[in-house]
Amino acid sequence: MNLFQLVFKQMRQRALSSWLTVLSVMLGVGLAVAIMILYRGGSSLFVQSDFGYDIIMGPPKGSPLQLVLNTVYGLDQPPGNMPYSVYENLIRNPRQVRIAVPVTVGDSYKNLRIIGTLPKMFGYDDEGKLLPEEKQFEYRLGKKYEFAEGHVFHPEKFEAVIGSEVPARTGLKIGSTFRATHGMPGPNETPDIHEQVWTVVGILAPTHTAADRALYIPIVSNFAITEHETGMSQQAHLRQKLAGAPRAPSSQKKEEAEGPPYKLRPDGTIDLKLPKEDWLLSAVLVKSRNATLNLIYQYKVIDPSAVAVNPATTMREFFNTFFKSTTLVLLLIAILVSVVAAVGILVSIYNSVSARMREIAILRALGATRARILTLICVEAGLIGLIGGILGIIGGHAVAAAGSVYMNRLLGQSINWLSTDQYELLYLVGVVLIAVIAGLVPALKAYRTPVATNLVAA
């Protein structure tokens, strides 16, 4: 009977104890591997350097992190609004700004965000013609929005383009209509549904970003919502009042007017009554001409109407401050769990050796050397560590798969839970070595087993 046959025979004889020890090792390794994968995945999600834009313009109130989380990942609440003139000033500055795309957020449909924007978000001008290559917006470097079905919306009609996951989640398809819900109502809140109706004219190809679960509408149609128009008009009036400026005649007429804030022209386009100086935006996505720092400084020191943040820098700071430190603490806990599992191996095999003293004495009497007995016990401990470690790696990837599904539902982006790296293999080797070291204590006890005494005692 060779060495491994003896080891498996011993493990079968005390199967419950062996498998409980394997389970403890598996839990420790699984926890550590899951944390490693989520750390790598979190880094790829949050510490991105391949944004297709290098600046996000937002309202001066609120934190840069809140602005980026809301604009890029669809998390948190929008930090407020800023004048539409910020966008107009940017597109008048071609020396510093290559592409600028305005967005408004705030409404939803079946808990999916509705985003107001322009056709240029999808690479088209207001006439529905494809823009030149250098003027097409990229959501990632080298990646642009593409249509799986339909076409881009008209900039002045109640039309919509939806993300690739929206049809499965809502049942919408080309030609379907929907109405927007104000905000993101909770489970116990009564939704405030706007009266305007949008028609779906396009479905985007998958992007594996938050855009896959968003609905895009023309920015003018967003301003045509009565509650939005009223709110923007009141905010404009308040800003002018605080500035001591008289209300503009066009705005005064708007306040005195009754009826809807728009009318439809014969061709179905929207004739918006709200003057452009009263329009408000949530953010502007900007691709600069190597002028990132200049624009950030300009809106930080010179122009207080908005704030300019670099999304990659903001998310890197967030990751290093919150995610990285938390992950390291969890990894330390996982290592401690693995050490406890090693102690379990020591105790389990030590008790097994104590119960097998006569059997070990018989092996010695049959010619097994002390070195062979020591090797037998250490191989058994290492094998328990190896089996538990392999099962732990499989279990860790399974946990990471569940985390990937959660991340996808939360952020619209998943993590690569199938990937492995050298740290997982090094951790497995470390676990096996610790298991072998843990097995040395009972192995040394077996090594010193007096043959005659145990045979006589038996």
Residue 92 has pLDDT above 60, yes or no: yes
Query: DSSP 3-state assignment of 193?
Result: strand
Structure tokens at 385: 């560590």
Query: 109-134 pLDDT, tens per residue?
Result: 998 999 999 999 999 998 889 999 98
CB-based contact 174:149 (threshold 8 Å): yes
Structure tokens at 384: 């328990």
Alpha-helical regions (H) of 159-279: 166-170, 219-223, 226-243, 249-256
Residue 319: which pLDDT band, with cuts at 50, 70 and 90? confident
Provide the percentage of residues in the chain whose pLDDT is more than 90: 29
Query: Which has more confidence, 371 or 255?
Result: 371
State pTM to two decimals. 0.73
Mean confidence (pLDDT) of the chain: 81
Strand partners, 244: none
Give the pLDDT of residue 58: 92
Structure tokens at 88: 């107009």
Q: What DSSP designation does 190 have? A: P
Q: How many CA atoms lie within 13 A of 367 on its CB side?
A: 1
- The residue type found at 140 is R
Give the pLDDT of residue 254: 44
Give the pLDDT of residue 427: 85
Residue 420: which pLDDT band, with cuts at 50, 70 and 90? confident
Query: 324-336 pLDDT, tens per residue?
Result: 777 778 778 777 8
The residue ranges of every structural domain in the chain are: 3-46+316-457, 55-309
Residue 434 has pLDDT above 80, yes or no: yes
